[in-house]
Amino acid sequence: MMEHASQIAFGRMDQCGQLAGTHDKWDLLAALTHAAEEFGLSHRTLGVLKALMTFFPEREIPAEPDSAVVFPSNRKLAERLNGMPESTLRRHLASLTGIGIVSRKNSPNRKRYARRTGGDCQLAFGFDLSPLARHAGQIFDAALAAKSQAEHLAVLRDKVAVLRQKLIEAAPEQAVELVEAVRKLLRRKPCEDNLAQAEEALRKEISALPESGEPPCPALSATGMSGSCNQNERHIQDSDKSVFDSETHATADKKNNGKENQPENSMPGNDLRQVQRACQEFQNFFPGQLRNWQDADHVAERLSPMMGIDMPVLSDARAAMGRKQAAVAVLCMLEKMGSIRSPGAYLRRLAQKARVGQFSTAPMVNALLHGNSSVQPTC
């Protein structure tokens, strides 16, 4: 009986001590791949096992000892492993035999070969694959357990992601460090304990929020429908690109709202050429000029994940301030990345101000144009 690096003891016989039947070698390999972490197997060790299996002519591996012996030389094995160095090959072979997945059947001189009589193999020395079939039940059980654990972790990850988003929406200025730490945790491959701790911390933070911690929502009333073009732009779906192509869209909205005398360029940050003069840093990532607002929106969308801004945060900013203003805000933030501790939290704060009519990109653009460092990010 062998013990490997994980918690599963490989090589246990069944209670009755009886040998199992034959098993498909590729099914066994697939099950071992799913349970690789449980048995302490690396993908390269599994590759060596797969190469050994290719030297066994039958698809079904019998369970009787010494009934599935393969005897390739290290040179032949290395050829099927795309030139794996012999020292590396020996290490992976030792790992397979140490765990008990395969066993050695050594000849007197420790060479691998077979003796044949009339074309039939009578005696072979090399690596015996029969332990795979004898302990197939254990392998398949471990694979099922690994799959179940992976599904459990996926559900736990989703719960943590939902709680994080709920905290962001309820209190964008609170628990910034926790929100950022959870974001980094979800980008890795966390264990169950780390996810459980993150879930507990998020639930504790959310439960401590006051009932008034929900973000303000604009009231829908007969008099409240006469908003500016920025407010109307919230209701345009992401797939609607006419807002970038039509030069008369914003003017028509203003006329409908009784603001015919307000020029379109009075909208803060509406002059694309002015924005390009103020924001030069994006060209290090996407060289070239912005031909229209649709280009600016696409550049901002691609820059956001590089800056640490999640897509839900960008979408929330678009809904609050409009796609043009959101694009300008992201481009301006890129210019000041050195002084912004948490870009995602900063953009959420700008969106929150935009919802109550207290935000404009004009000061940001003007500060960059005039080299004014007095307007500094606070998040």
Task: Identify the pLDDT of residue 119.
Answer: 59
Element of type H or E holding 64: none
Does residue 105 sit within a domain?
Answer: yes
Q: How far is CA 61 from CA 9, 34, 39, 216, 359, in A?
A: 21, 19, 20, 66, 71
Task: Identify the pLDDT of residue 116.
Answer: 65
What is the rounded CA–CA span in Å between residue 235 and residue 368?
30
Does residue 46 sit within a domain?
Answer: yes
Task: Identify the pLDDT of residue 167.
Answer: 83
What is the rounded CA–CA span in Å between residue 25 and residue 40?
20
Task: Identify the pLDDT of residue 77.
Answer: 87
Instruction: Compute the residue count for the chain.
Output: 379
Helix axes 343-355, 311-321, angle to 10 degrees: 20
The domain boundary, picked from 194, 211, 228, lies at 211
Tell me which residue of 5, 1, 9 sits closest to 141, measured CA to CA.
9
What is the rounded CA–CA span in Å between residue 204 and residue 182?
14
Token reading at 340: 């912004």
299 and 364, same domain (yes or no) = yes
Task: Identify the pLDDT of residue 17.
Answer: 36
3-state secondary structure of 85: coil
Task: Identify the pLDDT of residue 253.
Answer: 42
3-state secondary structure of 34: helix
116 and 191, same domain (yes or no) = no
What type of residue is 316? D
Question: For 261, how many CA atoms within 13 A lie in the half-sphere containing its CB?
Answer: 0
- The separation between CA 238 and the C-alpha centre of its own chain, rounded to angstroms, equals 23
Per-residue pLDDT in tens (0 to 9) along the chain, 379 residues: 334 434 344 444 443 334 457 888 889 989 988 888 888 888 899 999 999 989 888 888 888 887 888 888 888 888 888 888 989 988 999 988 888 888 888 776 677 766 666 656 656 788 888 888 888 888 898 888 888 888 888 888 888 888 888 888 887 777 788 888 888 888 888 888 888 888 888 888 888 887 644 444 443 333 333 444 444 444 333 434 433 443 333 433 444 444 333 333 334 434 788 888 888 888 888 877 788 888 888 888 888 888 888 888 888 888 888 888 998 999 899 888 888 888 888 898 898 888 888 888 888 888 888 874 444 444 5
35 and 69, same domain (yes or no) = yes
Residue 111 CB partners (closer than 8 Å, separation 6+): 125
- The separation between CA 26 and the C-alpha centre of its own chain, rounded to angstroms, equals 29
Residue-range definition of the domain harbouring residue 345: 266-369
Does residue 141 sit within a domain?
Answer: no
What is the rounded CA–CA span in Å between residue 210 and residue 224?
27
> How many domains, the chain?
3
Task: Identify the pLDDT of residue 117.
Answer: 63
Does residue 328 sit within a domain?
Answer: yes
74 and 175, same domain (yes or no) = no
65 and 127, same domain (yes or no) = yes
Token reading at 289: 């000029």
